[in-house]
Chains A and B, each alone.
Chain A
Amino acid sequence: MSVMTDSGRDRRRFTAAVLGPETALEPTPVGDRVVRGVVVGATTHMLCLATPRGEERFLYDRATVFWRGGEVRPDDLRDGDDAVVLCSQDGRLVAERVWAQAARATGVIVGREGETLEIDPGHGRPRTTVVLPYRTSGRIAVRHPRLEPGYVFDAVGVWREGAVWAARPATTQPPYPLSATPPRPPTPRHSTTLSGIATWYDPAWGRSSHLDPRARVDGVAYPALDPVGHDADCDRRTSCVPLPLLSAGATPNLRNDCTRDTAVLPVVDCAAADSWLCDLCPACGGQGAGRIASLTMTAFVALGGLLEDGCFNATMTVHNGEG
């Protein structure tokens, strides 16, 4: 899995030199309010996180929300939990929202054994084991009626013993297997501004987020990477949004249509599984169908998304330098 590299910066510089500066904008630093790390102490008043900067402490507010597969009390957070903290507007002192052990499994089901599924997220990422606990299996089954190999699966949950314990569905499963997806109709015209939904993924797999530099990357995985110049095979299909082909290092401008937060984020990875789905986001009643980008966990939170919702309606702009 790639992270933001010098190569991406160079590509941006050269693209700007040829096509003009508006085609390759400088990424906006978005992560001021978002901290990710490992819980080293959680009391009813304060949260201690081990982060790459060292130990950071956060106080709670009366409105602070804690999530660990569902809303929990602050003392339900455990030492060693991977936590994402969204600080309140004032600074990095008071936590507004805390997500612990948040995980997501997006991909195609390749095996099922009782209440355990095996999910293939595509493009060379390791397969994920998903457990459907009795408490949430009904909720999952409403939007995933066919939990059989070949069908698509997308759910948000928590990491537990190396597996994702699904907490809530993040898509409505298409009624056909992935291999029988009907072909998308051809697109007659292209526009530089596209509407759809943005989702999130965890580039560090919930492991040692205080040490792994991938855990802190603010970027997007893009469902329409050009196959040339991309080493790992990105088994993408024709997305249902007419996305322009880009490579790692490109910087689309993304806007959260629910909160109107805007950011320029670099493309750092392939999001093949997002090109397999053509779903709507019920979070704030948008109309745009189809996934346009999959943000890293921290970038998603920084742009105003809620991890448990799994998506927000987004508008993406990619200038092509041709007026």
Chain B
Amino acid sequence: MLPEIVEAFREVQLPLLAVLLLLGAASKTTGQAAGSGLAVLVPERLRRPATVGTGLLEVALAVGLLALTGLPGDAVRLLTAVVFAASVVVLVLARRRDPEAGCGCFGGLSRAPIGWRTLTRAGLLSAAALATPGLEPAGWQVALAPTALHGWVLGAELLLLAALSPELREVAARTLHREPCELREVPMRRTVRRLRRSDVWRTNENVMIKAEPDDVWRHGCWRFLRYDGMRHGRRVDVVYAVRIGGRRRTGVRAVLVDRGSGAVVASFGAVTGLELVGPPRRLPRPRQAARRDAERHDAARAAETLRAAREHPARMMPDHSRDADTGQPV
């Protein structure tokens, strides 16, 4: 059993290392990696080229691990081990130069200061790469024909790597804590899309005479768009306020402002802050409702009202003929 496990462990390293290298290369293209890892050790003007060069090397190694076999394959696998071992040295030097610097292994995600976990991870990956020379299949062949044993070994190794990766905490923080809407930069395109999908926009579509806004401005969570409009023959400014984030249905408000007098002639979409009296949560049972109606019904008053109405059809209904609570005629 043990030799099979060792063999599966060696085979799994090829696709795993390739994927990690590709992820590292992709995250280095975001441009937030400058000032971490290798970039700490080189002069200012060489930082960007150093980051790009590292990324390209990672892509080349990943392709080699996946595609090559035989002697060239072994060369690439050894080179991968050497690169990871060199990265341990670079990280130690970078930490000595700037204790606050991140490792930059996964671009902007690796901002946490270089610690023992990062160093251990690089060392383990170097050892993993060192286990691969001499394997028969190429990386893609292992990836296409996985066995259950491969899955177990891969799972255990991923757990170990996750425990050694400070980047996961950064990913969790980014996904769980969104920036407050006041500070969030939102492209105009998204604001316009939200506006055009709203009821408020559809209601006022006929009022506007231009498709493009005359003025756009921002106030914290709200972005404002002012359009030129014409309502009942008078020029108006149609001002939309579109919420950044928040609930989509209540996210758009609008006012129509008369251009001559400056008065607000209509307003749409505003949600009142007052507590409104809602309908009763549950209707009364039929028998209970009938009893309540019977209590309210005053036969003598109803007969009098009917007689009065027949005698004087045009007369205003006297006040006492209305129900005091609801204002409805009884």
Contact = CB atoms under 8 A, between A and B. Distances in A.
Contact of B177 (A10, A186, A245): A186
Contact of B179 (A15, A187, A318): A187
Contacts of B237: 10, 14
Q: Closest 4 A-B residue pairs measured CB to CB? A: A226-B218, A247-B217, A244-B182, A190-B180
Interface stretch (B11-19, B54-62, B70-78, B221-229): B221-229
A190 B100 CA distance: 27
Given A186-B177, A186-B179, A228-B223, A13 B262 contact: yes
B235 to A, nearest CB: 14
A298 B222 CA distance: 31
Contacts, number: 116
B253 interface: yes
Contacts of B173: 186
Contacts of B35: 180, 182
A17 interface: yes
Chain B binding site: helix, strand, loop or mixed by DSSP? Answer: mixed
B273 interface: yes
B294 to A, nearest CB: 46
Contacts of A323: 273
Interface string A238-254: 00001111111110000
Chain A binding site: helix, strand, loop or mixed by DSSP? Answer: loop
Nearest to B179: A186
A183 B44 CA distance: 17
Contacts of A320: 182, 219-222
B217 A248 contact: yes
Contact of B217 (A23, A186, A249): A249
11 contacts: A14-B224, A15-B217, A17-B255, A18-B222, A18-B253, A19-B241, A183-B111, A186-B174, A188-B177, A245-B220, A318-B220
Interface centre among A183, A248, A322 (most CB of B within 10 A): A322
Interface string B164-192: 00000000011001011111110110010
Contacts of B185: 226-227, 245
Contacts of A242: 180, 182-183
A54 interface: no
A150 B219 contact: no
Contacts of A14: 224, 226, 237, 239, 255, 257
B218 to A, nearest CB: 4
A242 B254 CA distance: 28
B264 interface: yes
B311 interface: no
B34 A180 contact: yes
A20 B45 CA distance: 51
B216 interface: yes
Contacts of B222: 18-19, 320-321
Contacts of A228: 187-188, 191, 216, 218, 223
A225 B179 CA distance: 17
Contacts of B100: 182
A250 B217 CA distance: 9
Interface string B251-270: 00111010000101001001
B204 interface: no
Contacts of B218: 226, 228-229, 245-247
Contacts of A11: 215, 217, 224
B305 interface: no
A189 interface: yes
Interface string A174-201: 0001011011001111100000000000
A182 B184 CA distance: 19
Contacts of A224: 183
Nearest to B256: A17
B107 to A, nearest CB: 12
A180 to B, nearest CB: 5
A51 to B, nearest CB: 33
B183 A190 contact: yes
B277 to A, nearest CB: 20
Contacts of B226: 10, 14
B215 A190 contact: no
B32 interface: yes
B215 A7 contact: yes
Contacts of B187: 228
Contacts of A244: 182-183, 220-221
B109 to A, nearest CB: 11
Contacts of B44: 150, 177, 179-180
B215 A246 contact: no
Contacts of A180: 34-35, 44
Contacts of A150: 44
Nearest to B221: A320
A245 B216 contact: no
Interface string A85-127: 0000000000000000000000000000000000000000000
Interface in B180-212: 180-185, 187-188, 191
